[in-house]
Amino acid sequence: MKDPFVLAGREYRSRLIVGTGKYPSFAETRRAVEASGAEIVTVAVRRVNITDPAKENLLDHLPLDRFTILPNTAGCYTAEDAIRTCRLAREAGVGTLVKLEVIGDEKTLFPDIPATIEAARVLVREGFQVLPYITD
């Protein structure tokens, strides 16, 4: 592989990371992700059913042998919420690589940088690889 993208010790051919929100169905989500060529797929943990195995789940449509699932903390307004959400993702079996978002402004969705840093420190100590969503 020429010039691979290396993230958290893993090599990828594609540098594209695709989101899974806003699609009308899980099947369409999978088709879009496959068509994109992306190998990393970000998933809002709050929008994924991880508690009821009887219900359909987005993760059932994204084979873990083909895609790295990048759980994100979209919708979290506190460091504590974001930390809990990452822990849930880890317990659900999607790993420790996470996209960390702590919302600071409800209107613009700009991040709360101090809360994001606080959450990142805790998560890194717990063995997570953190991709923070922050501005300068």
Has residue 84 got a pLDDT over 70? yes
Which positions ≥6 away from 59 have C-beta within 8 Å?
Answer: 43, 48, 69, 92, 94
Per residue in 86-102, pLDDT (tens digit) is: 999 999 888 899 999 99
* Mean pLDDT in residue range 103-121: 96
pLDDT class for 43, splitting at 50, 70, 90? Answer: very high
**Predicted TM-score (pTM) above 0.95:** no
Please report, as a single letter, which amino acid is at residue 104: G
CATH superfamily of 5-132: Aldolase class I (3.20.20.70)
The residues spanned by each domain of the chain are 5-132
Per residue in 52-81, pLDDT (tens digit) is: 878 888 888 998 889 999 999 999 999 999
Please report, as a single letter, which amino acid is at residue 16: L
Q: Which residue has the tokens 């691979």?
A: 4
Q: Which residues are catalytic?
A: 99
